[in-house]
């Protein structure tokens, strides 16, 4: 049953040191506010799972929260590298991290398997690809019905998932519109799920029943955080802040500049700052 909490309390109660955690959102609805709260609370030794980790994981890695990343493609979308992630991998700053790389297909299937309570995902993939040579978690199995060789990877079963959405009802149901990505699967695969939302409404009685709604019994905590996906976008509320992604490429290139930016924009800022940042977008 979903519990309405402040973002501080939702993170404090549901994210622990050493957890396996997914902050999911695919271009759209990326839960930046929740990740910033995790940084402020100084969580450590986290294993991060995500399709296309972008600048929010770059920030978490750069602040030393992370020991391992399970991912498919890492980059600043439309701009280039994740410089803090690269510094950690190549130079061990601020600490060394372990990386486990998959294809997009493998990540999506692993979430789907986790959501279904299965131990692994089975799919067609990795044929002719080199990832299986550096990732021992990529295995092959033979279909017992056709004899076809298929790829298999472990299911994703995070301790906690964080996602952002447009609306929550007072009962605790959550509405997700626009590009869905794997948010629904991440929530269903996780032991706990925290959702930040743009607004809280009385009910969803006037909505089409086929819209993506996470029932209240799939959600652990809900926090009202307008603008909580910035600088990514939230369909129907604000656009993507492209300038912020370009700025990050410069900020993240220098360790001292990175630390000063994080101090000003994360450590000394609160969730309320996100509402201000999306004005005019």
Give me the CATH number covering residue 170: 3.40.1080.10
Residue 128 in domain: no
Residue 44 in domain: yes
Residue 119 in domain: no
Give the integer Cα–Cα distance in Å for 157 and 54. Answer: 21
Angle between helices 255-262 and 55-62 (to 10 degrees): 100
pLDDT at 271: 84
Q: Which domain holds residue 187?
A: 3-102+157-272
pLDDT at 213: 87
pLDDT at 130: 87
pTM above 0.85, yes or no: yes
Residue 217 in domain: yes
pLDDT tens track for 257-281: 999 999 999 999 988 888 889 887 8
Task: Judge contact between 102 and 71, C-beta under 8 A.
Answer: yes
Residue 229 in domain: yes
pLDDT at 270: 82
pLDDT at 180: 86
Residue 138 in domain: no
Task: Judge contact between 188 and 115, C-beta under 8 A.
Answer: yes
Q: Which two tokens stand for residue 60?
A: 């978490």
Residue 109 in domain: no
Residue 46 in domain: yes
Number of structural domains (the chain) is 1
3-class DSSP state of 256? helix
Instruction: Quote the DSSP letter at residue 20.
Output: E
Distance, C-alpha 61 to centroid of its chain: 13
Write out residues in the chain with pLDDT < 70, as ranges. none
Q: Sign of the CA dihedral 116, 121, 122, 125?
A: positive
pLDDT at 242: 95
pLDDT at 26: 87
Neighbours of 209 (CB within 10 A): 6
Q: Return contacts of 66-70, CB within 8 angstroms, 24+ apart.
A: 66/95, 66/97, 67/95, 67/97, 67/98, 68/97, 68/98, 68/99, 68/100, 69/97, 69/98, 69/99, 69/100, 70/100, 70/102, 70/156
pLDDT at 84: 98
Q: What is the mean pLDDT of the chain?
A: 95
């Amino acid at each position: 049953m979903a519990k309405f909490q402040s973002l501080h309390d939702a993170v404090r109660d549901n994210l622990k040191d050493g957890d396996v955690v997914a902050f999911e959102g695919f271009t759209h609805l990326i839960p930046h506010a929740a990740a910033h709260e995790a940084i402020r609370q100084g969580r450590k030794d986290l294993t991060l799972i995500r399709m296309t980790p972008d600048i929010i994981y770059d920030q978490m890695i750069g602040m030393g929260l992370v020991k391992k990343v399970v991912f498919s493609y890492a980059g600043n979308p439309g701009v280039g590298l994740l410089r803090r992630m690269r510094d950690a991998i190549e130079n061990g700053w601020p600490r060394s991290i372990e990386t486990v790389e998959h294809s997009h297909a493998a990540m999506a299937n692993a979430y789907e398997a986790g959501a279904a309570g299965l131990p692994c995902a089975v799919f067609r993939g990795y044929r002719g690809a080199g990832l299986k040579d550096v990732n021992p978690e990529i295995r092959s199995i033979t279909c017992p019905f056709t004899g076809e060789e298929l790829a298999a990877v472990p299911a994703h079963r995070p301790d906690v998932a964080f996602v952002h959405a447009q609306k929550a009802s007072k009962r605790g149901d959550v509405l997700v519109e626009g590009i869905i990505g794997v948010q629904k699967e991440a929530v269903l695969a996780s032991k706990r799920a925290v959702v930040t939302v743009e607004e809280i409404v009385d009910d969803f009685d006037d909505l089409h029943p086929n819209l993506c709604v996470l029932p209240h019994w799939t959600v652990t905590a809900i926090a009202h955080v307008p603008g909580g996906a910035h600088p990514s976008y939230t369909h129907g509320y604000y656009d993507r802040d492209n300038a912020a992604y370009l700025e990050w490429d410069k900020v993240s290139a220098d360790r001292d500049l990175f630390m000063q930016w994080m101090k000003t924009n994360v450590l000394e800022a609160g969730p309320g700052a996100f509402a201000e940042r999306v004005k005019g977008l």
